[in-house]
Amino acid sequence: MPVLLGALLLHLGIMIASPFVMELIPGFCRPELTGTCFGIFYAVSGVAAALGNTAVGWAMDTGEETGAGWLPWVCCALLGPASAAAVARLYRRGALPGSPGAVTGTSAAPVASADPAAPADPAYPAASAASVEPAYPVASAASAASVASADPVASADPTDPAEERSNA
């Protein structure tokens, strides 16, 4: 029964914390890298869980061998204040979204003005409307047509009855 109660409390905590975490993660990166940020979060979370479980397991074994049954409880009790101190330090450094001086999840270079008469930003002299390239490749009409012609399903004429019989 204690294991079931522990599992229930663990899942209750995850249900409470998870929506807040999922909302915070995109604030740490540019919109096109949101999936990467989630991947890094889960990789770091997995390593942290493994290290945390290892440390508590070591404390339990050491406490049992030496007669210091309080050792795992002290380790777990110190983990909360240590985490709070780390979050406070990140907040003071401006490394958390919403903290004073925080860097937002946008790119560092400014977007060039659509107005060609607008003065250029002296910090980014090369940023002009002509030099700004999109962050993702843009397909031309010719390349889209060649892709469509290479795909037999996309190039089939839907009104041709012979095509319908061959595709059926």
pLDDT in tens, 28-70: 888 999 999 999 999 999 999 999 899 989 999 999 999 998 9
Pick the more confident residue, 145 or 77: 77
Q: C-alpha angle 38/39/42, rounded to 5°?
A: 85
Tell me how far the alpha carbon of residue 87 is from its chain's centroid: 18
pLDDT in tens, 114-141: 445 555 544 444 444 444 444 444 444 4
SS3 100: coil
- So what's the pLDDT on residue 143? 46
- So what's the pLDDT on residue 86? 93
Q: Does residue 23 contact residue 14 with C-beta atoms inside 8 Å? A: no
Q: Residue 40: which of 32, 28, 55 has the closest Cα?
A: 28
Is pLDDT at 108 greater than 60 in this prediction?
A: no
pLDDT, mean of residues 88-100: 85
- So what's the pLDDT on residue 110? 43
